[in-house]
Amino acid sequence: MTTTIRPQLLLTVICLTLGCGRDLSQQETETLIAMAVPAEGMSRMASPSNAVADDPAAAALGQKIFFDKGFSHDGSVACASCHVADQGWSDDRAVSVGVQMRKGGRHSMPVLTAADQRWWFWDGRADSMWSQAIAAMESEDEMDFSRAEAAHYVLKRYGKAYAQVFGSVPNLSGVPARAKPGLGGWEQLSPTQRTRVERVFTNIGKALEAYERKLDCSDTRFDQWAKGAVTMTRQESEGAANFIREGCVDCHSGANFSDSEFHNIGIGSNGPAPDYGRQTGAIALALSPFNAAGVYSDDRNWGAARLKAAAAEQGTLGAFRTPSLRGVAQRRSFGHRGDHRTLRDFLNHYDRLRPQPSAVGQLDPLLRGVNVRGERSMEAFLSMLNCRPVPAALTAH
Ligand code: HEC
Ligand code: HEC
């Protein structure tokens, strides 16, 4: 008996091994080149609500704060505890663990590419990086600090640097050591005292933002390819072609490989309570005294226009913000639940697109027909976006 190998089967085998027929067209090549970071580096979007966003002295102060565990209730947790440089500036746990081993409900997000987003947190409940940072400080599952503690501590420890950036140091006499709304007699403080504390607290966030804006992920192998310095392997180019043809680029768009918008891809919730994502995030944002339309914003009109845009969004139930894919292959778990422990596992989610039982809302129509078509080549392409380590001076503390 002779075995005949059907030519079609043979072709499939060869294609699975080597990759086939996935040459990038001229137009696809141009689309990809437009997503690269130009030689001058990532041009940061302006941050009008923060007057010191690009002030080097503010960034230097922010860097100290980022690594200082003194900004947590029991002195055990810093921003850097959950945003670890060699874990993709995120962490290797499914959900983060804060003071006293308290578990949060979502996976830590990478900080390296965060400055190029327009809404922060998985549900976009912050419209600036400064308000994002102070929310982390007061979150009971994260640092469990309070605005009064943060204000006292920064002035005591970094008073000189603070005064250099923000002009003066306010008098906080009579302000209890630990106080925030609902805690430590906050409501009994005079409006002037409360405003003073909150001014210092928001300035801490503004310094942190200035630091985070100095971190980026440019000059990857992908950016080098766009400049013509390297060529793609067969596998990389197959992944690149699929990335465009399968519609990944509809949401993972622009130089940050993220549209910074919200989509429901059916990931679902951690724990018994449903996670409504952007729907509740937008409400929390509108109610926050620290949104960019509020008194601590350095451009309230700009903030008000953004709030209006957020209120008009559609299809936000169960939608989460598109993560940047720069540095994605260097992360340790994926998606807002963090329960996909390998990139391959997460990519498989797109091929078997069915909302998980705990998901709420409707799948985003942009997902129609999305398929990875070859996990290995997609991984190869996404690995071209691996970030270089940031200069040592930016992690010194
Ligand atoms: C206990 C772990 C933990 C600590 C401590 C922590 N974070 Fe996070 N961070 C997270 C988690 C989890 C999220 C996502 C939370 C969510 O969406 O609800 C996040 C989100 C972020 C984001 C949003 C990124 C994006 O793309 O939207 C930034 C920026 C960030 N953190 C910076 C900080 C800074 C600055 C500090 C210190 C003030 C800090 N984090 C402290 C776990 C932590
Ligand atoms: C409809 C918009 C949309 C499309 C199309 C899309 N994504 Fe996503 N992607 C998202 C959103 C939103 C998330 C975060 C979802 C969550 O956690 O709930 C995500 C998450 C990811 C992650 C995990 C990143 C991380 O840091 O956790 C990877 C990897 C990814 N997408 C790759 C792809 C690839 C490859 C394709 C094409 C096959 C694709 N995406 C198509 C919106 C999209």
pLDDT in tens, 234-247: 999 999 999 999 99
Whether residue 267 has its Cβ less than 6 Å from ligand 2: yes
What type of residue is 207? A
Q: Quote the CA–CA distance of 22 and 33 in Å, as a whole number.
A: 17
Q: Which of 123, 110, 108 is nearest to 360 (CA)?
A: 123
What integer best gives the mean pLDDT of the chain? 93
**CA distances (Å), 13 to each of 5, 8, 231, 380, in order?**
11, 9, 25, 19
Asked if residues 208 and 66 have their Cβ atoms less than 8 Å apart, the reply is: yes
Q: Quote the CA–CA distance of 256 and 218 in Å, as a whole number.
A: 9
Asked if residues 332 and 230 have their Cβ atoms less than 8 Å apart, the reply is: no
**Rounded distance from Cα 136 to ligand 1 centre (Å):** 6
pLDDT of residue 232: 97
pLDDT of residue 2: 47
pLDDT of residue 18: 47
Q: Quote the CA–CA distance of 332 and 225 in Å, as a whole number.
A: 26
Does residue 40 carry a pLDDT above 70? yes
Residues in contact with 196: Cβ distance below 8 Å, sequence separation at least 6, in sequence order: 151, 170, 171, 172, 175
Residues in contact with 77: Cβ distance below 8 Å, sequence separation at least 6, in sequence order: 69, 98, 99, 142, 143
| Mean pLDDT of all residues in 325-346 | 95
pLDDT of residue 271: 85
- Percent of the chain at pLDDT exceeding 70: 94
**Rounded distance from Cα 248 to ligand 2 centre (Å):** 7
Whether residue 385 has its Cβ less than 6 Å from ligand 2: no
Residue with tokens 């998901």: 359
pLDDT in tens, 245-258: 999 999 999 999 99
Residue 101: CB atoms within 10 A of its CB come to 7
pLDDT in tens, 47-106: 999 999 999 999 999 999 999 999 999 999 999 999 999 898 999 899 989 988 998 989
Q: Quote the CA–CA distance of 161 and 214 in Å, as a whole number.
A: 18
Q: Quote the CA–CA distance of 164 and 235 in Å, as a whole number.
A: 52
Q: Which ligand is nearest to the CA of 363?
A: 2
pLDDT of residue 11: 47
**How many residues in total does the chain contain?**
397
Q: Quote the CA–CA distance of 274 and 270 in Å, as a whole number.
A: 8
pLDDT of residue 269: 92
Q: Taking the CA of residue 375 as centre, how many other CA atoms within 13 Å lie in the half-sphere pointing to its CB?
A: 12
pLDDT band at 8 (very low <50, low <70, confident <90, very high): low
Asked if residues 360 and 269 have their Cβ atoms less than 8 Å apart, the reply is: yes
> Which residue's CA is minimally distant from atom 41 of ligand 2?
248
Asked if residues 341 and 332 have their Cβ atoms less than 8 Å apart, the reply is: yes
pLDDT band at 19 (very low <50, low <70, confident <90, very high): very low
Q: Quote the CA–CA distance of 112 and 97 in Å, as a whole number.
A: 20
Q: Quote the CA–CA distance of 251 and 254 in Å, as a whole number.
A: 9
Question: Tokens representing 17?
Answer: 């091994």
| Mean pLDDT of all residues in 25-30 | 95
Quick one: residue 244, left, alpha or beta (phi over 0 = left, psi -120 to 50 = alpha)? alpha
Q: Quote the CA–CA distance of 114 and 40 in Å, as a whole number.
A: 19
Q: Ligand 1: list residues with CB < 6 Å.
A: 66, 77, 79, 81-83, 96, 98, 104, 106, 108-109, 111, 114, 117, 120-123, 129, 132-133, 136-137, 142-143, 208, 212
Most confident range, picked from 95-104, 169-178, 268-277: 169-178
Q: Quote the CA–CA distance of 234 and 132 in Å, as a whole number.
A: 41
**Rounded distance from Cα 56 to ligand 1 centre (Å):** 22
Q: Which of 83, 175, 91, 176 is nearest to 133 (CA)?
A: 83
| Mean pLDDT of all residues in 280-293 | 98
Q: Quote the CA–CA distance of 362 and 316 in Å, as a whole number.
A: 9
pLDDT in tens, 125-149: 999 999 999 999 999 999 999 999 9
pLDDT of residue 334: 95
Distance, C-alpha 359 to centroid of its chain? 21
